[in-house]
Structures are given as structure tokens and as C-alpha cells.
Structure 1
Amino acid sequence: MDTDLMLVLGLAISVLAIPSLLSAFAESRAPRAGAIMVLIGGVLVVVALTQKPSGYTFAEIPEVVFSVIGRFIN
């Protein structure tokens, strides 16, 4: 799997976990699904950051996201 794709998937999964976490905390129940999603997303981001030799900067992240989206649209 491409490091750019891993980074984008990890970020997307982590962002999608936020509503699940908030819902679980609001209903006073254990946030199991949200925690698993954050764990998976975090692992994908860390693997992407460690596998790319030059790493990523915060300025590169929007460009990487749009390039991955562009690859799937074309």
C-alpha cells in the first residue's frame, strides 16, 4: 500500500471516529468502536510517517489528500 494512501486513510478513519466517541461519552457507555477506529487510524498514520523516507510536513498534507482523491477520480 502506498504511504500517501495510508496517511489519507488513517486521517479519514480518525476523523470518522470522533462522532462515535462523542456519542459514547454522551450516553455514558464505553467508546469501543470509536477507540478501535482511532487505534486503526493512528497505526496507519504512524506507519505512513515512518515508511516515507523524507516524512510529511503539515504543509504537504492537503496536497497529499487531493492527489490521492485525484488518483481515484481519474
Structure 2
Amino acid sequence: MNDDDPFLTEEDLALRAEVQLLRQEHADLDASIEALGHVPVPDQLLIARLKRKKLALRDEIVRIEGRILPDIIA
């Protein structure tokens, strides 16, 4: 399904846009965590906080995707 699917509601399109933003933020956090791991004395507390935020973003992405694509009973 792509964004020009005539069966998508405005809400679905808005949710897809939100997921894209969250995925970008998730990727940015991943890059930040990777970069912080390469400094001579990494700030482990900051890295742990970023990892928790990254996990929270992942949970939010999964929750929103569940609203876009509800479970189909086979």
C-alpha cells in the first residue's frame, strides 16, 4: 500500500506521516548513540537515556502501525 491508495483515510495518512517522523528520530538517536560510543570516555548515563528514548519511540511506532493496519482475523 502506498500513500496514494484511495482506501486510506486522512487519519491513516496522518498516522503514516507521524510514523515517518518517529522513524527518522529513531534513526537519529541510533546515530547519536553510535557516535557517543566512540568518544574516549563515553557518557554511559547519557547513552542509557538515549537508548530508553529509542525504545520508547519504537513502542510508539508499533502502536501507531497497529492503528493503521489492525489485526486481520484469518
Provide TM-score, normalisation by structure 1.
0.53
**Deviation per CA, 1:3-56, whole angstroms, max 9, x where unpaired?**
21231122111111122101221133311343144123212210122111358x
Structure whose alpha-carbon radius of gyration is higher: 2
Partner of residue 23 from structure 1, selected from 35, 38, 62: 35
Q: Which protein is richer in helix relative to its size?
A: 1
| Structure 2 residues without counterparts, runs of 5 or longer | 1-10
Structural RMSD (CA): 2.5
CA distance in 1, matches of 2:21, 2:59: 10
30, 39, 43: which one aligns with 2:55: 39
Superposition map of 1:1-74 within 5 A: 2-27=14-39, 28-30=42-44, 31-53=47-69
Report the residue type matching 1:16 in the other structure: D
Q: Give structure 1 stretches of 5+ with no counterpart.
A: 56-74
Report the identity percentage: 7
